[in-house]
Chain A
């Protein structure tokens, strides 16, 4: 099949038809901020709202994860309008994130820190007051610790658990109360979770971490 030619930030790349912009960019080493993108997933999740880019000729920014590549498309990853939406989503995520990097096992290996560093954002909720969920940490499992107060709800753990393993994790509740949980909120240690820890490996922040 003929490959599609496009440019991202002036750099010429090619991609298979049907590829999403974000996947095409990342595979060519062009980094676009993201937290919820899973290369092998059938459909993008589209929940973190961080991968905003501007497409030449279009008024509104689009999320790169959900926009298929098009022949001759010219993309800017750091335009002002895209930056505004990205920073807004970033600040909103931080306003619900227990920011305690020093004591976080994912310190220096964290998706939020990476975005802040590479985009030049302060690691702060900006305009918003921080209000963390204040939920209990679940350390009932012998191999995994789950801290919902650090979770950004990117859904990666749900995907990996449901497509590869027992399907113990899922979203529950609505609105601000939405969270990752087990059936009937049972502690992880009391579920059929076998402890494969793929959720830990895929978690971009310090919400699911290895128990030492």
Chain B
């Protein structure tokens, strides 16, 4: 136990520990923890929850059923951990309602752990293979997500039992300047995208005079394919709130705002419940841990604008104004919310700060690379086996992330590129798979760390279309304030639109490139400045793919609808089979002479249903690009 100079909070802390420890003493009962975060619910966790509840009432009334967050293994959702006394806790997934009933009946009732549904035990033990034998568990290093998916996000006691709030307790016994020194010494960098040194930011904010200061937790995660902040808030809001409180203490603030996008209703609800729980424990509000320090957090719901992830736009939105970025200086640390010094950090940064205060900066520094310390959280999406949320030490290579943690690309397809950092990030080709994932290496390769969305692309993904997708997103989400972002991205989008339809010229390509650089340099805020990254990085690594589109009318990935066609090879088509005829939504396929099917190219909408549904023993449908030359 760490000693605290402040005798008042020392006593309060000990009482709190006693109180929470009392909760677990007593006879152990079987316990089921089911992940019911948004990701779990999407896979049917609420049905599983109902099944558990029903079966527990029927055959194991002593068992406890708890709803927890997400352990990050989306591919295996719904996920449950069953702790049956006499066995190590075991992780199961996917737990369908049927599996749920069997776990209660057979495992809790009769002691058969049903290992056919298990991913592994979550503790090393003699009896049952543990999950740590799986490569993903071995390579992950969970700091920010340490408690996500294990604790009940509604009960602060559970967080305390796992070592939560030791960081704040320690901080409260330190001089605020030493707290900042500790964060600086740890080398923590902002995990919201740009990677600005967090300790320095805290220091700058502290240095500005003023009685009233604010701390803002930025949970306006909006990148397509990113869901780290959501999972964190739904699974473990306490880490974020502890980090905010520490930050408040460090910079001299007594009021924080937790800004969460409106599209995350469950995250908002769980954060609210968590805050109530913390207030009840004396860890939020007046006189925290009897230390004399007050810190109150208000939950703020975003209104659905991507731009409000930008700090000055977020501040404007919090003030009730239109979410539009403003020029800097002044930085928020000087003139933020209502003109007061304001510290704004990403939720993951705040959670990491809480761990640093608990475990000390040398421990944190031991993780990561020389210039990027600690871990990074990524959401793995796209063409990958094991989608989900991972946390790995900075400096892990892309290849390790994709192959080891993600289990590689499905259907034996080849990895083509990894899109990192969402609309502000870039596409790195498979050839750069050995790039270490850290702030500087990614920037050098033409991407950014961003908030941590990682979309895996395979050979069927067209890079022009990918760039177009992200640019379209940015163009729609641009606040409209400055000309390069509002109009420049639109002009770029028009050129990309043309390319996906096989139209374009060398001259247009030149304009695209020039304009991309002008938007990058000329935009007002970070959103505009990074908006061209998807285009610039794909141009850098996949230029020939761009050229194929307008020079040959060919989409090498056979993905752009206007540049492909489907044909049926008569020799392979079977007279007896009419699967494609049924699959076609527009009646473009009919049986011709001798029952061989033919696609009417005039009617075909290129949906690809026939291509997908043609039985594997025939594989008579082919997809070609350009459309004119193939098939015959």
Contact = CB atoms under 8 A, between A and B. Distances in A.
B293 interface: no
A127 interface: yes
Contacts of A96: 487
Contact of B326 (A43, A85, A92, A128): A43
Interface string B468-490: 00000001111111111011111
A48 interface: yes
A178 B522 contact: no
B225 to A, nearest CB: 20
Given A89-B483, A93-B483, A93-B487, A174 B305 contact: yes
A85 B521 contact: yes
A46 B326 contact: yes
B511 interface: yes
Interface residues of B, number: 33
Interface in A71-106: 84-85, 88-89, 92-93, 95-96
A129 B100 CA distance: 61
A88 B484 contact: yes
Contact of B487 (A44, A65, A95, A179): A95
A93 B329 CA distance: 25
A49 interface: yes
Contact of A174 (B327, B476, B482, B522): B476
B518 A84 contact: yes
Contacts of B329: 66, 68
A155 interface: yes
B483 A47 contact: yes
B327 A178 contact: no
Given A65-B327, A95-B491, A175 B483 contact: no
A52 B518 CA distance: 12
Contact of B491 (A48, A84, A128, A152): A128
A96 B485 CA distance: 13
Interface in B322-346: 322, 324, 326-329
Interface in B272-309: 305, 307
Most buried by A among B322, B324, B487, B491: B487
A61 interface: yes
Interface secondary structure of B, over-half rule: helix
A170 B322 contact: yes
Contact of B327 (A46, A88, A179): A46
Contacts of A61: 521
A120 B481 CA distance: 26
B483 A173 contact: no
A171 interface: yes
Nearest to B324: A171
A44 B327 contact: yes
Contact of A46 (B475, B486, B490, B524): B524
B488 A175 contact: no
- Residue among B328, B515, B518 with the most chain A CB within 10 A? B518
Contacts of A152: 483
Interface string A173-200: 1111111000000000000000000000
A60 interface: yes
B479 A178 contact: yes
Given A171-B480, A174-B480, A47 B524 contact: yes
Contact of A175 (B486, B515, B518): B486
A61 B518 CA distance: 11
A72 B81 CA distance: 66
B218 interface: no
A174 B483 contact: no
Contacts of B494: 129
A96 B482 CA distance: 13
A138 B489 CA distance: 28
B311 interface: no
A15 interface: no
Contacts of B486: 153, 175-176, 178
Nearest to B328: A66
B138 to A, nearest CB: 44
Given A88-B515, A128-B491, A178 B480 contact: yes
A174 to B, nearest CB: 6
A80 to B, nearest CB: 13
A127 B511 contact: yes
A47, A84, A129, A179 — most chain B CB neighbours (10 Å): A47
A34 interface: no
Nearest to A35: B483
A150 to B, nearest CB: 15
B483 A48 contact: yes
A95 B489 CA distance: 13
B484 A49 contact: yes
B524 A49 contact: yes
A110 to B, nearest CB: 17
B518 A88 contact: yes
B361 interface: no
Given A43-B326, A49-B523, A174-B305, A92 B475 contact: no
A63 interface: yes
Interface in B559-581: none
A117 B327 CA distance: 28
A85 B518 contact: yes
Contact of A92 (B307, B477, B481, B483): B483
B483 A49 contact: yes
A143 to B, nearest CB: 26
A46 B484 CA distance: 12
Interface in A98-149: 127-129
B484 A92 contact: yes
A176 B490 contact: yes
Contact of B475 (A60, A173, A175): A175
Interface in A48-68: 48-49, 52, 60-61, 63, 65-66, 68
A175 to B, nearest CB: 5
26 contacts: A44-B327, A45-B327, A45-B481, A46-B326, A46-B482, A47-B481, A48-B482, A49-B522, A88-B484, A88-B488, A88-B518, A88-B522, A92-B491, A95-B491, A127-B511, A127-B515, A153-B481, A153-B486, A171-B322, A174-B307, A174-B479, A175-B476, A175-B490, A176-B486, A178-B478, A178-B480
Interface of B: 305, 307, 322, 324, 326-329, 475-484, 486-491, 494, 511, 514-515, 518, 521-524
Given A127-B514, A174-B478, 4 more contacts: A175-B475, A175-B480, A175-B490, A179-B480
Interface of A: 43-49, 52, 60-61, 63, 65-66, 68, 84-85, 88-89, 92-93, 95-96, 127-129, 152-153, 155, 170-171, 173-179
- Shortest Cβ-Cβ A-B pairs, 4 listed: A178-B480, A66-B327, A46-B327, A92-B487
